[in-house]
């Protein structure tokens, strides 16, 4: 089977769909008829070579930190709720 060849413009457009629009690699790959592993390599290459604008990378990093903080907060709240549920279950058999 012959290897498919994609233009630089096509690759760049596909990478932008993932990075700028936040779409899932598998979804973009399926819609474009590209193997997900191939698109994943293009995205990884774009990020490692700085083809992702610095401002955009900062936004992504900031968003990741925000989401990590939110996850941590939700874990704390879940633990509190679990303890409260156990307390009330003991109190009212």
Domain ranges of the chain: 1-52, 53-93
Residues 68 and 40: beta-carbon distance below 8 Å: no
| CA pair distance 57, 59, nearest whole angstrom | 5
Confidence of residue 74 (pLDDT cuts 50, 70, 90): very high
| Residue closest to 41 by CA, chosen among 58, 23, 29 | 29
Q: Which numeric CATH code is attached to 1-52?
A: 1.10.10.10
Token digits of residue 45: 């290459």
What pTM was estimated for this model as a whole? 0.53
- Among left, alpha and beta (phi > 0; psi -120 to 50; other), residue 84 is alpha
For 9-65, write each residue's pLDDT tens digit. Answer: 898 889 988 888 888 999 999 999 999 999 999 998 888 887 666 666 777 788 899
């Amino acid at each position: 089977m012959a290897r498919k060849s994609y233009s630089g413009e096509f690759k760049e457009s596909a990478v932008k769909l993932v990075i700028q629009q936040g779409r899932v690699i598998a979804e973009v790959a399926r819609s474009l008829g590209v193997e997900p592993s191939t698109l994943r390599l293009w995205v990884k290459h774009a990020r490692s070579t700085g083809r992702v604008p610095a401002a955009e990378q900062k936004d992504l990093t900031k968003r990741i930190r925000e989401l990590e903080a939110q996850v941590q907060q939700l874990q704390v709240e879940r633990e509190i709720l679990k303890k409260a549920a156990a307390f009330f279950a003991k109190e009212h058999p």
